[in-house]
Chains A and B, each alone.
Chain A
Amino acid sequence: MATAGKPRPIDERRAQFQRYKEDVKKRGKPFYPFAMFHDTVMSLVVVSVIVGLATIWKWTSFGPHHDGLHQGLLGPEYTAPADPGTTSFVPRPDWYFYFLFYLLRIFKWPDTVFLGTVGIPNVLLVLLLVLPFIDVRRERRLSRRPVAVVAAVLTVLSMAVLTWKGATAKEALASEVINSVPSWIKAEKLPAAAVPGAKLFAVSGCTACHTYMGTGSSALGAPDLTNIGTRHLGITFQINHLKCPSCVNPGSPMPKFASLGDARLRQLAIFLEDSKGPR
C-alpha cells in the first residue's frame, strides 16, 4: 500500500490513464465510420502516389530503344547486367541509405571506420529503442518539452544534411580521373614502369573510395594513397591485398580485384609502391 503523503509517480500515471479511458468511453467517437474515413482517404492517396510514381518511372525511361536503360525522370528501369569483372562501377545504395553512405566518408580506415559502419547506426538504434525509458515525464505538449524538440530538430537536420550530401556526393568518373595521370607522374616523379599502373588505377574504380593527390572521393574509410609507397609494403603484399583485401586485412570493406588478372595487378602494385608522395 502506498503510504499517506505524496503519491508515487506510477500511481499518478495509472490514475491518469484510467481517466483517459473513461473520458474516451464517454465522449469519444466510434472508430467506424469517423476515424476510418480519414484512414481510407489517406490510404487512397498513398496508393495513388505509388501508382503515379510507377507510371512516371515507366513512361519517362522508355527511351528510343525501349531497353529500360534510358535515364528518365526517376532513373532507369535497370542498369546494365551485374558483372563481377568490372571494377569501374561506383557503388550506390538506395536513397534512404544515403545518410549511412555519407557517414562513411567521414570516418577513416582502419581506426574509426567501424564507428561509421556499425558504431553510430547501432547506438542510434539502441537510443531509439530505449527512448520511452529516457523520457519518462508525463508532459506531452511540445512547448513544455524543449529537450525533445531540440533533439528532434537536430536529428531531422542531420539526417537531411547527410542524405543531401550523399545524394550530391561527387563521383570520381574514370574519364575525368585519367586526365590527372600526367600531373601525378610529374609531381611524384613516377618512373616509366609505374605509368601503366597509374592509368589502370585511374580507370578501375579505385578513386570511388580512395583519394590520390586530391583526385577521387574518400569513402568507406578508404585511406589516401598519395604516399602509400613510403610504407614499403612490397609488390607481393600489394598483389595479394588487391586480390582479396579482407584476407590480408580482416574486416576490410574493399571489394576484391582478382578479376583484373595477375599482369594488371602487378602493374597496379608497381604504381602503388612507387607512389612516395610529391617530390
Chain B
Amino acid sequence: MITRRPPSRAQIRRERMQAAANFPLDWLEERSGLVGGIRYFLFRKVPSDTNWMQTLGSATLTAFIVQAVTGVILAMYYKPTPEAAYSSIQNITDHVTMGWLVRGMHKWGASVFIILMFLHMGRVFLFGSYKYPRELNWIVGVLLLAMGMLEGFTGYLLPWDQTAYWASVVGINLNGTAPFLGPFLAQFLRGGQEIGADTLTHFYSLHMLVIPGAIGGLIALHLYLIIRLGVTSPPWSKEAAGEVPVDGVPRELRAGLTRAGDGDGRGNGGPA
C-alpha cells in the first residue's frame, strides 16, 4: 500500500499559482465557452496533404483586414464633400505622418484583394471544392466577389479627381441602362439628378459602412461553413485525408477510402 505523503509547501504553492494563472481562461470558458471554441478551431483536423494553393483564402482575408484597418485610418482624415475631398486626399498623401503609406496600401490593397479573390475562386473551381456538401459556401463566395467589385466601384469616386469623377459619371449612367430598375438605381447612386455632394456621401456610406458590413457578415458565414464542413483534400489525393495509413492496414483492405474502392467503379478522386 502506498502511503500518500502530505503535499509539501512548494507543491501547494505551485498548484495555487497554476490555478491563478488559469483563472482568467477558466472564468471566460465557464461564462462563454469561447476558449473551447478557439481550441476547436485551432486543433481541428485538416487533411494531411493540403496544398499551398489552399492558403489563397486566408490570404484574401488578410488583404481584407489590411483594407479595413487602412480604411478606418483614412476615414479619420478624409472629408466627403466636393469642396474638401480632393484637398483632404492631398493632405493625407503629402502631410499626414505615413499617410502616403496608408493611402497607398488601401489603393493597391484593393487590387491585391480582387486578384486574390479571383485566384481563390479559381483554386476552388479546379479542386472541385464547390461540390456536395459545399454548394452554399460557393454561393457565399460568389456574393463576396460581387461585394468586393462593388467596393472597387464605390471607392473609385472618393478622391474626387478627374479620373474618379468621369469614371463614376459613366459607371452610374451604365447602371441606368438596365431595364425597369436602371433609372431608379442610377437616381439612387447619384442621390439626385446631378453628380455632386449627395453622390459623394452616398458612395462614401456604401463604401465604408454598408458593403464592408455585408462583406464582414459573409466572411463570418464563409468561415463557419469551412470549419463545419472541413477543408477539402486536393483532388489528386489518393485518400480522403491523404496520408499513408499509420495503423498498418493495407490500402486495398480499406475500401471506400481509395479511388478504386469508391463504389461506382469510375473513381472520383476521393471524397469531398
Residues in chain A within 8 A of chain B (CB atoms):
12-13, 15-17, 19-21, 23-32, 34-36, 38-39, 41-43, 45-47, 49-51, 53-55, 57-58, 66, 68, 74, 77-84, 86, 89-97, 104, 113-114, 117-118, 125, 128-129, 131-133, 135-142, 144-145, 148, 152, 156, 220, 246, 250-255
Q: Is B162's CB under 8 angstroms from A58's CB?
A: no
Q: Is A138's CB under 8 angstroms from B162's CB?
A: no
In the complex, whether B169 has a CB less than 8 A from a CB of chain A is yes
Q: How far is the CA of A104 from the CA of B112 in the complex (A)?
A: 25
At the interface, is chain A mostly helix, strand, loop or mixed?
Answer: helix
Q: State whether A92 and B167 are in contact (beta carbons under 8 Å apart), knowing that A104-B174, A129-B142, A140-B128 are contacts in the complex.
A: yes
In the complex, whether B171 has a CB less than 8 A from a CB of chain A is yes
Q: Is B86's CB under 8 angstroms from A82's CB?
A: yes
B-side contacts of A251, CB under 8 Å: 176-177, 182-183
B-side contacts of A49, CB under 8 Å: 112
Choose among A17, A46, A83, A86 the residue that contacts B272 (Cβ–Cβ < 8 A).
A17
CB distance from A28 to the nearest CB of B (A): 3
Q: Is B128's CB under 8 angstroms from A145's CB?
A: yes
Q: Is A220's CB under 8 angstroms from B101's CB?
A: no
Q: State whether A118 and B177 are in contact (beta carbons under 8 Å apart), knowing that A24-B45, A31-B45 are contacts in the complex.
A: yes
Q: Is B101's CB under 8 angstroms from A133's CB?
A: no
Q: Is B236's CB under 8 angstroms from A82's CB?
A: no
Total interface residues on B, using CB and 8 Å?
105
Q: How far is the CA of A142 from the CA of B123 in the complex (A)?
A: 12
**Most chain B Cβ neighbours within 10 Å, of A38, A43, A142:** A43
Binds A, one of B8-16, B132-140, B215-223: B132-140
In the complex, whether B205 has a CB less than 8 A from a CB of chain A is no
In the complex, whether B93 has a CB less than 8 A from a CB of chain A is yes
Q: Is B132's CB under 8 angstroms from A68's CB?
A: no
Q: Is A78's CB under 8 angstroms from B89's CB?
A: yes
Q: Is A17's CB under 8 angstroms from B241's CB?
A: no
Closest residue of chain B to A44 (Cβ to Cβ) is: B62
A-side contacts of B127, CB under 8 Å: 140
A-side contacts of B126, CB under 8 Å: 142, 152
Residues in chain B within 8 A of chain A (CB atoms):
41-48, 50, 52, 54-56, 58-59, 62-63, 66, 82, 86, 89-90, 93-94, 100-101, 103-105, 107-112, 114, 116, 122, 125-135, 138-139, 142-143, 145-146, 149, 152-153, 156, 159-167, 169-171, 173-179, 182-183, 195, 230-231, 233, 235-236, 239-243, 245-246, 256-257, 262-264, 266-272
| 17 intermolecular pairs with C-beta atoms under 8 Å apart | A16-B272, A20-B241, A24-B230, A30-B45, A35-B54, A41-B55, A46-B59, A53-B111, A58-B104, A68-B94, A92-B163, A93-B156, A94-B111, A97-B153, A137-B131, A251-B176, A251-B177
Q: How far is the CA of A117 from the CA of B47 in the complex (A)?
A: 43
Q: Is A21's CB under 8 angstroms from B230's CB?
A: yes
Q: Is A51's CB under 8 angstroms from B86's CB?
A: no
Identify 11 new A-B residue pairs, CB closer than 8 A, beyond the known A82-B86, A135-B131, A152-B126.
Answer: A35-B46, A42-B52, A51-B105, A53-B112, A57-B108, A129-B139, A132-B134, A139-B268, A140-B127, A140-B128, A140-B268
Closest residue of chain B to A45 (Cβ to Cβ) is: B59
Q: How far is the CA of A141 from the CA of B262 in the complex (A)?
A: 14
Q: How far is the CA of A86 from the CA of B103 in the complex (A)?
A: 27
A-side contacts of B177, CB under 8 Å: 113-114, 117-118, 251-253
